[in-house]
Amino acid sequence: MERADAARNRAKILEAAAGLFAERGAPNVTMDDIARAAGVGRGTLYRRYPDRAAIAVALLDEHERALQETLLRGEPPLGPGAAPAERLAAFYGAMVELLEDHAHLVLGAETGRSRFATGAYGFWRAHVRSLLVAARVPEPEALVDALLAPLAPEVYGFQRRDRGLTPEQVNTALVRLAEGILAAH
């Protein structure tokens, strides 16, 4: 059981980090910035969170868990009961929404190779793979990461910022991808 002072410090750290990440973007925030804003010592911060990515992962956890729960038990098409192509399209829509609302956190938690180490990526990967298997797509293992690649925060950010695409345009392209890969099977 977490001590009361440790719980207070955790809450202060997460609140301070959320504000700084939203204001400046996670890559532009240092651990010292977070400790100062939270009013805790560096030792307190590093004991709980070894790096900025660990803090971003903790902040994202609630949002990702809600989406995971919907994928497992929610209403179709996001939840069970819809055709694989419809479910993948709905998943893409939910992920675009997550990226749009929390890009500052996702960029702090899932950049480069660290993306593949998160529990959320493992869950998304298992979900997409199960849709490929349900649609009887040959060699699903070869496709699953390719179907998740457009959801990498760097890719999404590039499309939004540098290409000027709207979330709706990104989602429309992803729906076409889902339908093209899964609807034919």
160-178: pLDDT as tens digits: 999 999 999 999 999 999 9
109 pLDDT more than 70: no
* pLDDT computed for residue 114 by the predictor: 64
User: Residue 6, SS3?
Assistant: helix
What is the tens place of the pLDDT at every residue in 111-162?
Answer: 556 666 677 888 999 999 999 999 999 999 999 999 999 998 889 989 999 9
What is the tens place of the pLDDT at every residue in 9-65?
Answer: 988 999 999 899 888 877 789 999 999 999 999 999 999 999 888 888 888 887 888
* pLDDT computed for residue 167 by the predictor: 97
Cα 94 to the chain's mean position, in Å? Answer: 10
Helix H or strand E segment including 47: helix 42-48
Rounded distance between C-alpha atoms, residue 185 and residue 179, angstroms: 10
98 pLDDT more than 80: yes
Rounded distance between C-alpha atoms, residue 174 and residue 185, angstroms: 17
* pLDDT computed for residue 135 by the predictor: 95
Instruction: For residue 165, report the phi and psi dihedrals to the nearest 5 degrees.
Output: -75, 145
* pLDDT computed for residue 83 by the predictor: 94
> Hey, what are 142's tokens?
């070869």
Q: Band of the pLDDT at 108, cuts 50, 70, 90?
A: low
Q: How many CB atoms lie within 10 A of CB 65?
A: 13
* pLDDT computed for residue 89 by the predictor: 96
* pLDDT computed for residue 110 by the predictor: 56
Q: Band of the pLDDT at 185, cuts 50, 70, 90?
A: low
* pLDDT computed for residue 24 by the predictor: 87
What is the tens place of the pLDDT at every residue in 62-84?
Answer: 788 889 999 999 999 999 999 99
